[in-house]
């Protein structure tokens, strides 16, 4: 998998494909606020599920480490926990957006929040790759 991601063309194509998916979903639902909000809620549910899964994988992999490696990398693991916490809180905030007052520019705020959560999701994937690389003492992305 890591060899697959080292090819710059592959990374760029994955990035473009992700941007096309986000752009297509936004353009298809931007004018219909109910559909857009449903898109945000479903994306948020998926993001939280993936975050819990990634966290479980990382913590399961930490079990195989000895105490010395755990102490040496303790700060990295705490930083990762912080990233996971912020990501989950950010995604849970989506469910409370429907209770905010509808003012002018509300749709723009929702779009920015959606892009922020998707960007943070990508950041979480790279952080998980780095932590797993640390656990297995290999060079990560």
141 residues of the chain, pLDDT tens digit each = 445 455 666 667 767 877 777 777 777 777 777 787 788 888 888 888 888 888 888 888 888 778 888 888 888 888 888 888 888 888 888 877 777 777 667 778 788 888 888 888 888 888 888 888 888 876 544
Q: Per the domain annotation, does 25 fall within a domain? A: yes
Number of domains the chain contains: 1
Q: Per the domain annotation, does 141 fall within a domain? A: no
| Residue 125, both tokens | 């994937």
| Residue 23, both tokens | 């752009």
Helix pair angle (106-135, 33-62), 10° resolution: 10
Burial profile 109-136: b = 16 or more Cβ within 10 angstroms, e = fewer: ebeebbeebbebbeebeebbbebbebbe
Kindly state the DSSP code that residue 104 receives in the 8-state scheme: T
Q: Per the domain annotation, does 45 fall within a domain? A: yes
Report d(CA 18, CA 30) in Å as an integer: 18
Q: Per the domain annotation, does 92 fall within a domain? A: yes
Report d(CA 141, CA 13) in Å as an integer: 16
pLDDT at res. 103: 67
Q: Per the domain annotation, does 16 fall within a domain? A: yes
pLDDT at res. 1: 43
Q: Per the domain annotation, does 96 fall within a domain? A: yes
| Residue 69, both tokens | 């490696």
pLDDT at res. 7: 65
> What is the Cβ-side half-sphere exposure of residue 37, based on CA atoms within 13 angstroms?
13
Q: Per the domain annotation, does 120 fall within a domain? A: yes
Report d(CA 2, CA 64) in Å as an integer: 21
Range of the domain at 69: 2-135
Report d(CA 108, CA 114) in Å as an integer: 10
């Amino acid at each position: 998998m890591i060899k697959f991601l080292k090819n710059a063309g592959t990374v760029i194509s994955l990035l473009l494909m992700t941007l096309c998916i986000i752009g297509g979903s936004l353009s298809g639902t931007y004018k219909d606020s109910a559909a857009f909000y449903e898109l945000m809620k479903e994306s948020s549910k998926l993001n939280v599920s993936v975050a819990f899964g990634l966290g479980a994988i990382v913590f399961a992999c930490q079990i195989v480490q000895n105490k010395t490696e755990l102490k040496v990398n303790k700060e990295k693991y705490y930083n990762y926990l912080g990233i996971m916490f912020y990501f989950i809180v950010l995604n849970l905030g989506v469910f409370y957006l429907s209770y905010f007052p509808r003012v002018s520019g509300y749709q723009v705020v929702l779009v920015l929040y959606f892009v922020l959560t998707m960007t943070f999701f990508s950041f979480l994937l790279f952080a998980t790759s780095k932590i797993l690389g640390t656990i297995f003492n290999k060079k990560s992305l």
